Chain A
Amino acid sequence: MSKHLIKINNLKKSFDKLTVLNGIALEVNRGENFIVFGQSGTGKSVLLKCIVGLLKPDAGEIFVNNKNILGFSNKEMMEYRKTLGFLFQGAALYDSMSVRENLNFPLKRNFNFSEEEREYKIVQSLKMVGLENAIDKMPSELSGGMKKRIGLARAIITEPEIMLYDEPTTGLDPITSKEISALILELQKKLDMTSIVVTHDLLCAQIIADRAIVLHKGDIIAEGTIDELTASNNKFLRNFFSNNIIKE
């Protein structure tokens, strides 16, 4: 089994005349928490959407488990997506469904579990995020932090091999942000997932990161551990992390 679960080569993506990803290359190892830093609009979310097949890159290759996902048929893409979990920036809970139905949705449609098994998994997932009492609530009755937790519970309920987080702590207060970050780390260890986290929250990254890259103007300008990146003499990195460094 290869050490790298995800390998990206020369990935390019533009929208009209705006180049967002300018031929980036990266490797994500099995079981690691990989952070993608960068300013807003540098292509972090675009990178995630390319990895899950929501956006088609203009050029490049994305290998997951040594298979180039850009060559997948619709059926293969569907099978591939069953191995993924994705936490969206706004949680993207289905408004018309209760928390139970939100969690039940991927289970009911993609797996052959009995009703009792599904209910057990729903309760277990909610317990993992500490919100088993919210099972019958509607998304409109939840706070921002609760929505993120439910979004997380929905993403992990299928026990994905790869978990992708799009700004998991954006818009949350520092305490909730820290709780969510701790939860991400705990779940990653419990479920043995490989995670890619897009963020510009250094506190979140300090809690969960094994390795990180920094995207700037469509290119990767730095790669390493959080300590290496924050200690860098690069002018952009110093500026990026200067207002953000938190020592435990």
Chain B
Amino acid sequence: MNIPKIKYKQHPTTAEKFYNFFLNISGLTVFNLEFFKQLFSFPIEIEETKKHMYELGVKTFSIVSIMGFILGFVLALQSYPVLEKFGATDFLPATVALSVIRELAPILTALIFAGRVSSGIGAEISSMRVTEQIDAMEVSAVNPFKYLVVSRVVATTLILPLLTMYVIAIAMFGSFIAVILSENINFIYFQNAVISAISFSDLLPALAKTFVFGYIVGIVGSYKGYTATGGTVGVGRASTTAVVMSSLLILIFDMVMVKITVWLWP
């Protein structure tokens, strides 16, 4: 794997920043190709992947729970007065459900996941790089890319859709709590209103894009960590740039995938 080496300067010129940007793009492309090359080769790191899925799930569970509840609660509170003006408060469960499922839950969960996990992966792998632990693994006849990168990327790709589904459920619960504070409504009614409002074409694209977001979080964090140089400064840089790059890519891919979704399911 020939990843171009990026030389970071304390005060780079604009030209150097541009040059590094394109080196990053080319490096990330090579890194992605290597990932797919090694994904199906033996040995398959099932144990390591399971371990990371568990750790990443536990790490982000509490923060996405709080975020999901507040998201649903606030969205219901904000939407209620607007719908009330038009005498359309009956549509509140459907409005909240569609907003949460189609956009808010996938994107917010992904951004929080990026902040929590991408930086963690970047810091962990980069510190292994600068303390020669990755070299030690390679000398021990173990493929470090497979062991460290593939297992983590597969774990983030699989765990983010699960977390997003959980956030959707929690957000709907939050919105129900907000609704019963202002209206006398029972849970069954709320639930039926939500279920009748959503369809396959709402759920499938929303969940499909969370796989892509999960992949972005894993691959960017791993790329930044794996290519880190420059001691502890490099570890800090890998951690912060992993969050920035993965968040930015998540937003860009969200825009592209929403456009595709609208085109496929008008």
A residues whose Cβ falls under 8 Å from a Cβ of B: 49, 52, 54, 78-79, 81-82, 84, 86, 88-90, 92-96, 105-106, 109-110
User: Min CB distance, A15 to chain B, in Å?
Assistant: 10
Cβ-closest chain A residue relative to B43:
A109
Contact of A88 with B141 in the complex, beta carbons under 8 Å: no
User: Beyond A88-B132, A90-B132, A95-B128, is A105–B140 a contact (Cβ under 8 Å)?
Assistant: yes
Q: A92-B131, A92-B133, A95-B128 are in contact. Are A52 and B139 (CB under 8 A)?
A: yes
Q: Can you list 10 contacts pairing A with B, beta carbon distance less than 8 Å?
A: A54-B139, A79-B141, A81-B139, A81-B140, A84-B139, A94-B133, A95-B133, A96-B124, A106-B141, A109-B140
A61 vs B141: C-alpha distance in the bound complex, in angstroms? 21
Measured in the bound complex, the distance between the Cα atoms of B136 and A93 in whole Å is 8
CB distance from B175 to the nearest CB of A (A): 40
A78 x B135 contact (CB < 8 A): no
- B157 vs chain A, min Cβ distance (A): 21
Whole-angstrom CA separation of A78 from B141 in the bound complex: 5
Contact between A54 and B133, CB atoms less than 8 A apart: no
What secondary structure prevails in chain B residues at the interface with A?
helix
Assess the A54–B140 pair: CB atoms within 8 A: no
Partner of A109, one of B128, B133, B142: B142
Cβ distance A104 to chain B, nearest Cβ, rounded Å: 11
Quick check: B127 and A95 within 8 Å, CB to CB?
yes
Give the nearest-CB partner of B141 in chain A. Answer: A81
B136-157 with Cβ < 8 A to chain A: 136-143
6 tightest CB-CB pairs across the interface, nearest first?
A92-B136, A81-B141, A92-B132, A106-B140, A86-B139, A78-B141
| Residue pair A82, B141 in contact (C-beta under 8 Å) | yes
Quick one: closest A residue to B130, CB to CB? A90
Known: A105-B140, A110-B140. 19 other contacts (CB 8 A): A54-B138, A54-B139, A78-B141, A79-B141, A81-B138, A81-B139, A81-B141, A84-B139, A86-B139, A88-B132, A88-B136, A90-B132, A92-B131, A94-B133, A95-B127, A95-B131, A95-B133, A106-B142, A109-B141
